[in-house]
């Protein structure tokens, strides 16, 4: 069975776009592959979170992934910092990662531009740590978005370089695993593109949002002055709301409002009210599970322990072999 690895950024709550997109695919993949999903808390140190923020964010992400359907018995879900072997492999890979190629990474250049006062070495070697994350389990598939394509190419470079240096084919090449058409596009509420947390407040609906918060956000969503001819093409901001309704409402409800739009009888207030209520219903079970799991310290401890045990078993094996390949020997 092929091995899949994916790192989850330990900042930001899950929104509907994450849930209906990547997460649903993770949930499916856990039945088909040997999956390792981890919370990338070492990576997050590049921005120097406080200890309380660091822990709070890790907990939030763990809780939400479990609530969304990641099964800790099927997939290995773990916290990166629980597996020190990753940091050890990162050190070895750093010896053969070169300043020029690290400086050329787009993500590095973006971060330097955004935070010129915090250009630390961890930021520079972020792709090396990411390569260690992946190849420590000898993964061949990495479910990530387009923005991670260059990082994956670097992971292949570092793995191949290790192989060449030590004249073996120890590490397989990891490739991006894109879902293509399976990826449902979830638009945001700002009338523009997709849902995302960086698109400004109110654009994204979070799984942890209260029903009140969801109602407020949806009622504030951008609309136009209404259709002026029958069966006209919907402007993007209206199409977006219909696309969201298509995901959370019943086909009957969707058809009802589409008909009202086509006959110029739609009232956006009613339309948005319905959309908000259906969003609340669609997310209610996850919201409940988020609250239950967040309050179950015992369960969280067990899940983290199980994940760490499984991930370390795999990582330890790799590190033992890597140490032998490099030439570390006990007397
Ligand atoms: N860089 C990824 C992101 O920003 C997170 C990540 C860290 C990751 N390590 C990884 C993703 C390993 C896949 C595999 O989303």
Dist. CA 219–CA 230, nearest whole Å: 25
Joined together, the tokens standing for residue 132 give 């260690």
Cβ 241 vs Cβ 272: under 8 Å: yes
Burial classification of residue 196, based on how many CB atoms lie within 10 Å of its CB (0-12 exposed, 13-18 middle, 19 or more buried): middle
Q: Strand 34-40 relative to strand 3-9: parallel, antiparallel, unpaired?
A: parallel
Region 258-269: mean pLDDT is: 98
Q: How far is the CA of 274 from the centre of ligand 1 (A)?
A: 37
> What integer pLDDT is reported at residue 330 of this predicted model?
86
Which residue numbers belong to the known binding site for L-tryptophan?
Answer: 133
The length of the chain in residues reads 331
Q: How far is the CA of 98 from the centre of ligand 1 (A)?
A: 20
Q: How far is the CA of 8 from the centre of ligand 1 (A)?
A: 6
Question: Domain spanning 3-183+297-326: which superfamily?
Answer: HUPs (3.40.50.620)
**Rounded to 5 degrees, what are φ and ψ at 223?**
-135, 175
Dist. CA 160–CA 2, nearest whole Å: 19
Q: How far is the CA of 129 from the centre of ligand 1 (A)?
A: 9
Pocket of ligand 1 (CB under 6 A): 5-7, 9, 40, 43, 130, 133-134, 142, 144, 148, 151
Instruction: Name the residue ranges covered by the structural domains of the chain.
Output: 3-183+297-326, 197-291
3-state secondary structure (DSSP) of residue 188: coil
Q: Which of 4, 7, 87 to mutate to test the pocket of ligand 1 (most atoms within 8 A of CB)?
A: 7
**Atom number of ligand 1 nearest to Cα 129:** 9
**Atom number of ligand 1 nearest to Cα 143:** 13
Joined together, the tokens standing for residue 196 give 């995302």
Nearest 5°: the CA angle 138, 139, 141 is: 160
Q: How far is the CA of 15 from the centre of ligand 1 (A)?
A: 18
Cβ 307 vs Cβ 72: under 8 Å: yes
pLDDT at 180 exceeding the cut of 90: no
192-238 tens-digit pLDDT? 888 988 778 889 999 999 999 999 999 999 999 999 999 999 999 99
Q: Which of 6, 108, 126, 129 to mutate to test the pocket of ligand 1 (most atoms within 8 A of CB)?
A: 6
- 137 to 31, 93, 161, 264, 316: CA distances (angstroms): 18, 15, 17, 57, 10
- Atom 4, ligand 1: residue with shortest CA distance: 9
Q: Which of 8, 26, 40 to mutate to test the pocket of ligand 1 (most atoms within 8 A of CB)?
A: 40
Q: How confident is the model at residue 181 (pLDDT cuts 50, 70, 90)?
A: low
H/E segment holding residue 253? helix 251-262
CA 188 from chain centre, in angstroms, equals 17
Dist. CA 232–CA 164, nearest whole Å: 61
Quick check: do 3-183+297-326 and 197-291 share a fold? no
87-124 tens-digit pLDDT? 999 999 999 999 999 999 999 999 999 999 999 999 99
Burial track 231-258 (b if 16+ CB lie within 10 A, e otherwise) = eeebeebbebbbebbebbbeeebbebbe
- Return the sign of the alpha-carbon dihedral for residues 203, 207, 212, 214: positive
- Atom 2, ligand 1: residue with shortest CA distance: 7
Which residue numbers belong to the known binding site?
Answer: 9-11, 17-18, 133, 145-147, 186, 194-198
Fold of the 197-291 domain: Tyrosyl-Transfer RNA Synthetase (1.10.240)
**Rounded to 5 degrees, what are φ and ψ at 164?**
-65, -45
> What integer pLDDT is reported at residue 21 of this predicted model?
86
Region 14-28: mean pLDDT is: 92
124-175 tens-digit pLDDT? 999 999 999 999 999 999 998 888 999 999 999 999 999 999 999 999 999 9
Q: List active site positions.
A: 111, 194, 197
């Amino acid at each position: 069975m092929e091995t899949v690895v994916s790192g989850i950024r330990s900042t930001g709550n899950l929104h509907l776009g994450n849930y209906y997109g990547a997460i649903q695919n993770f949930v499916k993949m856990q039945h088909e592959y040997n999956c390792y999903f981890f919370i990338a808390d070492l990576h997050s140190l590049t921005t120097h979170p406080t200890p309380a923020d660091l822990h709070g964010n890790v907990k939030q992400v763990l809780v939400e992934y479990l609530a969304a359907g990641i099964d800790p018995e099927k997939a290995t879900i773990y916290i990166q910092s629980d597996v020190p072997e990753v940091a050890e492999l990162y050190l070895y890979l750093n010896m053969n990662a070169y300043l020029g190629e690290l400086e050329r990474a787009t993500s590095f250049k973006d971060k330097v531009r955004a935070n010129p006062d915090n250009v630390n070495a961890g930021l520079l070697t972020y792709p090396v740590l990411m390569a260690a994350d992946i190849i420590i389990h000898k993964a061949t598939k990495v479910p990530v978005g387009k923005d991670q394509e260059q990082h994956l190419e670097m992971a292949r470079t570092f793995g191949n370089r290790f192989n060449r240096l030590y004249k073996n084919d120890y590490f397989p090449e990891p490739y991006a695993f894109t879902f293509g058409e399976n990826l449902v596009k979830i638009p945001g509420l700002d009338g523009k593109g997709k849902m995302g947390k960086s698109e400004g407040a109110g654009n994204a609906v979070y799984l942890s949002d209260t029903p009140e918060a969801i109602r407020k956000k949806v009622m504030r969503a951008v609309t136009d002055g209404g259709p002026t001819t029958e069966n006209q093409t919907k402007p993007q901001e209206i199409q977006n709301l219909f696309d969201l309704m298509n995901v959370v409402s019943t086909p009957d409800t969707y058809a009802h409002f589409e008909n009202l739009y086509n006959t110029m009888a739609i009232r956006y207030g009613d339309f948005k009210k319905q959309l908000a209520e259906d969003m609340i219903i669609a997310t209610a079970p996850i919201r409940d599970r988020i609250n239950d799991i967040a309050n179950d310290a015992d369960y969280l401890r067990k899940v983290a322990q199980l994940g760490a045990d499984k991930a370390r078993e795999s990582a330890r094996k790799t590190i033992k072999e890597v140490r032998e390949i490099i030439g570390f020997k006990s007397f």
